[in-house]
Amino acid sequence: MLVFNIFSLIHHSMKAPTLLPSLLASTGLLAILAMLSACGNSNSTSLKNNSLVYCTEGSPTTFNPQQATTSITFDASARVMFDRLVEYDEDLQSLQPGLAESWQVSDDGLHYIFKLRQNIPFHQTEYWTPSRDFAAEDVIFSFQRQLDIHHPYHKVGLGKYPMINASGLNHLIRDMIKIDDHTVEFILSRPNLKFPSLLAMEFASIQSAEYATSLYDNQERFDHYPIGTGPFIFQRYETDTYIRYKTNQAYWRGPAKIKTLVFAISAEASTRLGRLITKECDVMSQPLPSQIKIIKNSPSLKLESQPGLNVAYWAFNTRRAPFDDVRVRRALSYAISRETIIKVVYENAAHIANGPLPPRMLGAIITQPTIKQNLQFSRQLLHEAQWDKNFVVDIWAMPVQRPYNPNARRMAELIQNDLAKVQVKSRIISYEWGQFLNRLRMGQHQTVLLGWSADTNDPDDFLTPLLSCNSAKTGTNRAFWCDEQFDQNLRLARETTAEKRLNALAKAQQIFKQQLPWLPIAHSQQFLAYRNNLVGIKLSATGGINFRKVYRVLPLSKQENKIDALKKLTTDGAKQ
């Protein structure tokens, strides 16, 4: 029987890079994979033992994390190829030095001076060789590209920088100064206690200014052929098929234990699980709740799970009538049975969200009463709002799986059924993922099922990009909701003492509850499945995976087994 073999695919594509695309186009993916798996090669075993294949659910929209908003893109870019000035350590629950070995802040909170590590090399690849190490000009380039609309690289690639704008850094950073090759000063427009934590987010990944200069006449290559300082070096991308990386042997924290990392792209969870079971994948992203029992019952597989720092929600576009009316938003929210959604979509591997923040996050109000389905109250609100019974509500359902929403289409169907109980007509709409995101950014939707996973364990990482007035302008606020009092409390929470911060966060969440720009649906468990011969796998609370410390435990050879057996016999004999 012909079986898909990703290692054979990668091995052959390394030898014949021009052959694979045409074969994929002419014969189809399954045929070419089967053909390659049938080709014997003495290096296949060695390649597999030193490689790791991660079956992921989708393709990145770019290899530039500055222009991304999705975890799929961050997984394929920021988390494998780039570093940041500071990093968030989940074990210590605190910020730790990254490319900056230390930093200081002035008494007035307006000046941050970062001392940079020395002797940090950028990636050396077949398409570029650096002539110098990481330095201050790379930091300035990485932020100026995003902040300065006149920067020569600002419009390169997707030309949009949603996360830095949603975070407010576009208004917060007033200037950057290179003090020397290894010292950079950030000058802020106002104090902000969480400024260093913003620099730990994926969009703050550091890129090479020298590489950008070398491509001045061919700038589009910059984001397609990325160069960073991270643990893995980009090698090749076949659209919607796979991404291949190799270990950065010069990585400043020490090289990864595996030599080759492959992202095998499979949109269907059933396909990913099948490849995991047949050893074509080592790690599987996003197993469905319905697959958990299968994984647990498989002796060759392991399952990681933990509560996620995430939220799934149903957002109402408040720029479009009738969703600009809070009575309509509340009426539609009270029509929905979230208990049914938890049971059917998540198979009880989630709990109902009482607000925008996960319950274990700082400042989350977990005592506020939850919204329970109340069809009579929903009809009453619709009547007060003079609801047009001929109006059709569009429910946009994302076409991909996420930890916070494993099946948006099924969730949309349940919502559609509930809306019918209050005589609200609706239809479900979806597009290809890239087109879906672009249309959302332009505000073409009426309502949308989406969600969010945190970059850090900071409430502002939820509230600012999802609900602030600034994020309504940049498009990450899918409700396009703007409330000045809500924003004022967010600003106060960033600039004040710990006690006053909690009070400001509580007020912001109360305003959210009153206005309901979206219905919080669930905080879900996160799952990661992998083969039991892997060591070092750790599922991050923010959804990412660190592959640098992962390695494969190889089975003992027959000779090693004989030696172990002889040692045991010798030991047992000595004891007697």
Q: What is the pLDDT of residues 532-571, one digit of tens each?
A: 999 998 887 766 788 999 999 977 555 545 555 555 555 5
Is the pLDDT score of 475 beyond 80?
yes
User: Structurally, what CATH architecture does the domain formed by 6-62+231-302+530-552 represent?
Assistant: 3-Layer(aba) Sandwich (3.40)
pLDDT of 92 above 80: no
Mean pLDDT of 493-514: 88
CA distances from 79 to 40, 103, 160, 249, 372 (A): 34, 23, 20, 17, 39
Work out the pLDDT band at 365, boundaries 50, 70, 90.
confident
- Following CA atoms 189, 192, 195, 197 in sequence, which dihedral angle do they give, to the nearest 10 degrees? -170
Q: How confident is the model at residue 276 (pLDDT cuts 50, 70, 90)?
A: very high
Spell out the SS3 assignment of 217-257: CCCCHHHHCCCCCCCEEEEEEECCCEEEEEECCCCCCCCCC
Q: Is 7 within 8 Å of 47 (Cβ atoms)? A: yes
Mean predicted lDDT score pLDDT of the chain? 87
The pairing of beta strand 350-352 with beta strand 518-531: antiparallel
pLDDT, residue 32, reads 34
The residue type found at 201 is: M
Measured CA to CA, the distance from residue 478 to residue 475 in angstroms comes to 6
Beta strands at 447-453 and 392-397: parallel, antiparallel or unpaired: parallel
Taking the model in full, what pTM does it have?
0.80
- Provide DSSP, 246-314: EE-TT-TT---S-SEEEEEE-S-HHHHHHHHHTTS-SEEE---GGGHHHHHT-TTEEEEEEE-SEEEEE
Query: For position 460, what pLDDT does the model report?
Result: 86
Name the DSSP class of 40: -
**Where on the phi/psi map is residue 459: left (φ > 0), alpha (ψ -120 to 50), or beta?**
alpha
**Confidence class of residue 309 from pLDDT cuts 50, 70 and 90?**
confident
Please report the pLDDT score of residue 544 as a whole number: 74
Residue type, 444: Q
Helices (H) and strands (E) in the chain, counts: 24, 20
Residue 209's Cβ-side half-sphere holds a number of Cα atoms within 13 Å equal to 16
What does the pLDDT read at residue 20?
39
Q: Under CATH, which architecture does the 75-224 domain have? A: Alpha-Beta Complex (3.90)
pLDDT band at 443 (very low <50, low <70, confident <90, very high): very high
**Pairwise pLDDT comparison (34 vs 562), residue with the higher score:** 562
Where do we find the tokens 């400001």?
Answer: 504
Residue 414's pLDDT band, with cuts at 50, 70 and 90, is very high
Mean pLDDT score, 382-388: 97
Which pair of tokens denotes residue 288?
């469905």
The answer to whether 75-224 and 310-525 have equal CATH topology is no
Tokens standing for residue 116: 């940079």
Q: Model confidence at 13, in pLDDT bands (50, 70, 90)? A: very low
Average the pLDDT over each of 40-49, 102-111, 264-273 and give the range with the smallest value: 40-49
Residue by residue, DSSP assigns 62-108 as -S-GGG--SHHHHHHTHHHH---SEEEETTTTEEEESSEEEEEE-TT
pLDDT at 456: 73
Query: What's the pLDDT score for residue 555?
Result: 72
pLDDT at residue 294, rounded to an integer: 95
pLDDT mean over 417-427: 98
Rounded CA-CA distance 404/454 in Å is: 11
Query: What is the crossing angle of helices 6-15 and 19-27, to 10°?
Result: 130
pLDDT at residue 46 in the model: 65
For position 26, what pLDDT does the model report? Answer: 34
Pairwise pLDDT comparison (290 vs 151), residue with the higher score:
151
384-394: average pLDDT: 97
Q: What angle do CA 261, 262, 264 make, to 5 degrees?
A: 160
Residue 387 has pLDDT above 50, yes or no: yes
Return the domain boundaries, the chain.
6-62+231-302+530-552, 75-224, 310-525
Task: Please give the average per-residue pLDDT across 222-239, as a whole number.
Answer: 97
Q: Is residue 474 within 8 Å of 340, Cβ to Cβ?
A: no
Residues 573, 576: Cα–Cα separation, whole Å: 5
State yes or no: pLDDT of 45 exceeds 80. no
The pLDDT-based confidence of 498 (bands split at 50, 70, 90) is confident
* CATH fold for domain 310-525: Dipeptide-binding Protein; domain 3 (3.10.105)
Lowest mean pLDDT among 189-198, 466-475, 488-497: 488-497
Q: Residue 461 has what pLDDT?
A: 85
262 versus 49: which is more confidently predicted?
262
- Per-residue pLDDT at 23 exceeds 80: no
The answer to whether the CB of 99 falls within 8 A of the CB of 83 is yes
The pLDDT > 70 percentage for the chain reads 87
pLDDT at residue 408, as a whole number? 96
**Poorest-pLDDT segment among 32-36, 90-94, 155-159, 446-450:** 32-36
pLDDT reported for residue 568: 54
